[in-house]
Amino acid sequence: MTATLTRPAPVTGKKKPVLARTRRREAIALVLPSLIPILVLSVAPLVVGIFLAFTDARLVRHPDYGFAGVDNFVRLAGNDLFWDSLRIGMIWTVGVTLLQLAAAMGLALLLNSGLKLQGLTRVLALIPWAMPPVVVAIMWQMIYSANGGPLNAFLGGVGLPDDINWLGDFSTALPAVIVVGVWVGMPQTTVTLLAGLQQIPAELHEAASVDGAGAWRRFTAVTWPSLRPIVTSITSLNFIWNFNSFSLVYVLTAGGPGGKTMVPVLFIYLEAFKNREIGYAAAMGLVLVVVVVLLLAVYLRSQFRDDRAAKGR
Partner 1 sequence: MRVLVRPAQYAALALYILFLGFPLLWLISASVKSSGELNSLTVSLLPGEWHWDNYTEALSKQGLVRSAANSLVVALASTALSVVIAVPAAYVLARLKGKVRAAGVGWILVSQVFPVVLIILPLFLILRTLGLADNLAGLTLVHTTYMLPFALWMLQGYVAAIPVELEEAGAMDGASRLTVLRTIVFPLLAPGVVATAMFSFVSSWNEFFFALVLLQSPENYTLPITLTMFVGGEGKVALGPLAAGAVLAAIPSIVFFGILRKKLTSGLMAGAVKG
Task: Please list every residue from 202 through 231 that binds partner 1, using CB under 8 A.
Answer: 215, 229-230
* 156-182 as b/e: b if 16+ CB within 10 A: eeeeeeeebbbbbeeebbbebbbbbbb
Among 148, 159, 161, 312, binds partner 1 (CB under 8 A): 148
Q: Is 12 in the site for partner 1 (CB under 8 A)?
A: yes
Binding to partner 1 in span 248-267, by CB under 8 A: 250-251, 264-265
Tell me the C-alpha distance between 129 and 110, whole Å: 19
270 is an interface residue for partner 1 by CB under 8 A: no
Give the nearest distance from C-beta 262 to partner 1 in angstroms.
Answer: 14
Phi–psi pair at 168, nearest 5 degrees: -105, -10
Nearer to partner 1, 166 or 183 (CB): 183
Give least dist CB 61 to partner 1, A. 9
Return the beta strands (E) in the chain as ranges: none
**CA distance readout (Å), 203 to 112, 115, 191, 206, 209:** 15, 20, 22, 5, 10
CB of 72 to partner 1, least distance (A): 13
Site for partner 1 in 152-191 (CB under 8 A): 153, 183, 186-187, 191
Asked if 89 interacts with partner 1 (CB under 8 A), we say no
What x-and-dash track marks residues 108-127 binding partner 1 by CB under 8 A?
--x--x-x-x--xxxxxxxx
**Site for partner 1 contains 27 (CB under 8 A):** yes
Helix (H, G, I), strand (E, B) or coil at 55: strand
d(CA 292, CA 157) in angstroms, rounded, equals 43
Amino acid at 299: Y
